[in-house]
Structure 1
Amino acid sequence: MLSAERKRSLTIAGHRTSVSLEEPFWDALKDIAAAEGVAVAALIAEIDSRRETVNLSSALRLHVLEHYKRQAEGG
């Protein structure tokens, strides 16, 4: 089932920004943040600090994908 994008506003490094992601990605980020013992905003800020050329929404989707790939591979 396809999910529409949902825009959320947050503050990263003192700057307000909006990020649009499909709801399953927001849910995954919440789960990943909980597993790491950090707030979703802190997880997003960390991902943002490591991204290079992709936009933030893409970086977040890729982080979720990489997280679940590592889990599937037993890491």
Structure 2
Amino acid sequence: MIRKHSISLHGHRTSLTLEDAFWNELKAIASDRAIPLAALIAEIDDRRQEDHNLSSALRLHVLETIKRQTKTQV
């Protein structure tokens, strides 16, 4: 299911829309790195290209993280 999430990012409120599976993976990534979810999202936001929206950048980050983990397990 797709849900809207409101977060504080760089001192202002913003909203994003993500499927539950991506949101849960973002929380797991943040937990694995022992950082707050908001900090992880801020990192991704800082690195994203200006022509990509935040929700897309978050999905791509999850995909890239899972691909890296899969490669290290093989």
TM-score, structure 1 length as denominator? 0.92
The two structures, once aligned, show a CA RMSD in angstroms of: 1.0
Choose which of 46, 57, 65 in structure 2 pairs with 1:67: 65
1:69 and 1:50 map into 2 onto residues whose CA distance is 19
Q: How many residues align?
A: 72
State the identity %: 57
Structure 2: 5+ residue runs without aligned partners?
A: none
Residue in 1 that maps onto 2:23 = 26
Structure 1: 5+ residue runs without aligned partners?
A: none
Q: How is 1:27-42 mapped onto 2 (pairs within 5 angstroms)?
A: 27-42=24-39
Shift of 1:15: 1.1
Shift of 1:60: 0.1
Shift of 1:16: 0.4
Residue in 1 that maps onto 2:56 = 58
Structure with the largest fraction of helix: 2
> Structure 1 residue 11 and structure 2 residue 1: aligned?
no
* AA of the residue aligned to 1:41: A
TM-score, structure 2 length as denominator? 0.94
Give every structure 1 segment of 4 or more consecutive aligned residues whose post-TM-superposition deviation is greater than 6 Å.
none
> Structure 1 residue 47 and structure 2 residue 47: aligned?
no
